[in-house]
Amino acid sequence: MRIIDVLLFIICLSSVLFYGYGIYAAITFWSHPYPIAPRFHPPVTILKPICGLDSYTYENFASFCQQDYPKYQMIFGVSAHEDPVIEVVEKIIHQFPDVDIHLVVSPQIIGTNLKVSNLANAVVAAKHEILVIADSDIRVGKDYLQRVIQPFKDQKVGVVTCMYRSVAKGWVATLEAIVTATDFHAGVLASNQLEGTKFACGSTIAIRKEVLEAIGGFEAIADYLADDFKLGYLAAQKGYKVVLSDYVVDHVLAITTVTDAIKRQIRWARCIRVSRPWGYLGLLFTYGTVASLLLLTAMQGSRVGWMALVITWVMRLLMGWAVGVNILNDPIAKKFLWVIPLGDLIHFGIWCYGFVGSTIEWRGRRLKLTKEGKLYGVQSKT
């Protein structure tokens, strides 16, 4: 075997080991659900940073207003009075009079990440000690708060976060969703099993007020792209436990174009690269589907090449099923499991491209990433 064959074989082998560990992590996570204490329901404030209209905005917001939970408050934070999303919030306030809902409109900016500024403006009106932050494109069931809050029975727990399954229409969004369900979340579960969760996801971040204050408030993350990651990371650095909840929320993906999807994936790739540079580099050893194809080609269709491909692909599909179907109960993963190899090939190309450049596009703004993961504005070309 040539050196290139050996290197590709090593990547295939490391990928198979990763897939096996991902399956193990999924089984372990699934077999240890978090116990529910029916009488544990401390009051909660839900913070919802909003900007513009997403797909099914009303349905997403309304799902948070229908919780089987005795006492909670909702605060929507937006920066501009002319934002069309305000009309939806006003409708929500009118149709759910029994829910304590507030709308905070403030142009005050504390950093480059405008979402964090909306959170900082909204939290001033928070009445309760436990804060739950969820992005505007998230939809939940009626048992969401009851289940997500459970880990706070342990006083050492400072942050709770959630995985998500995607609600997608169109083949572009479907491809995004299948990779997220079967690859990204496999990495989350593997990390949780190996070293515990040291970060948070924007799908849900439940955090104690005292923890937020201990890490420096929202001001500490106001210039970072990975604001959700940093909230969990900084809390873990302070010695607080970060718990991955067994509750899975729905992430409603908008119908999107190929260009928009690629820009979004590049933004996430560069975000991971600056947040966890060595982890990002290590992803090379998880792209077994790509490495096995290259190995088969390099070995000119030999028996060894075919064996490596079959074993690698079978393990990849098994991990996809264990995580996407068994843990997330993702309908897209159930229906399109066979699309995983294609998604991996596309994602590998984006991973490679993520190494170069530092400019991203986010909600119509051109921003530049520093090596520390901070953002600063870039003048648009005219």
- Coil/strand/helix, residue 242: strand
Cα-based distances in Å from 43 to 126, 128, 130, 329: 11, 6, 7, 29
**Averaged pLDDT of the chain:** 92
pLDDT value of position 1: 65
- 3-class SS string, 314-380: HHHHHHHHHHHHHHCCCHHHHHCHHHHHHHHHHHHHHHHHCCCCCEEEECCEEEEECCCCEEEECCC
User: What number is the average pLDDT over the span 306-315?
Assistant: 96
User: What number is the average pLDDT over the span 263-286?
Assistant: 86
Joined tokens for residue 56:
């099914």
Tell me the per-residue pLDDT of 74-104, one tens digit each, with 9 for 90 and over: 999 999 999 999 999 999 999 999 999 999 9
- Give yes or no for residue 380 having a pLDDT over 60: no
pLDDT value of position 270: 85
The share of the chain scoring above pLDDT 90, in percent, equals 75
pLDDT value of position 378: 62
User: What number is the average pLDDT over the span 279-291?
Assistant: 93
Tell me the per-residue pLDDT of 133-188, one tens digit each, with 9 for 90 and over: 999 999 999 999 999 999 999 999 999 999 999 888 888 888 889 999 999 999 99
Write down the pTM of the prediction.
0.91
- Give yes or no for residue 345 having a pLDDT over 60: yes
- Coil/strand/helix, residue 166: strand
* Structural domains of the chain, ranges and CATH numbers in brackets: 3-28+273-376 (no CATH), 35-256 (3.90.550.10)
pLDDT value of position 233: 94
User: What number is the average pLDDT over the span 29-43?
Assistant: 89
The dihedrals phi and psi of 330, each to the nearest 5 degrees, come to -85, 120
Least confident span in 66-70, 208-212, 259-263, 311-315: 259-263
- Give yes or no for residue 379 having a pLDDT over 70: no
pLDDT value of position 382: 39
If we measure between CA atoms, which residue out of 370, 350, 339, 314 comes closest to residue 23? 314
Cα-based distances in Å from 245 to 171, 212, 242, 328: 30, 19, 10, 12
Task: Report the distance separating Cα 364 and Cα 98, nearest Å.
Answer: 36
Cα-based distances in Å from 21 to 12, 189, 232, 290, 292: 14, 9, 23, 19, 19
Q: How many CB atoms lie within 10 A of CB 366?
A: 13
pLDDT value of position 88: 96
Tell me the per-residue pLDDT of 225-248, one tens digit each, with 9 for 90 and over: 889 999 999 999 999 999 999 999
Task: Report the distance separating Cα 171 and Cα 52, nearest Å.
Answer: 24
User: What number is the average pLDDT over the span 68-78?
Assistant: 96
The residue that leads in pLDDT, 258 or 163, is 163
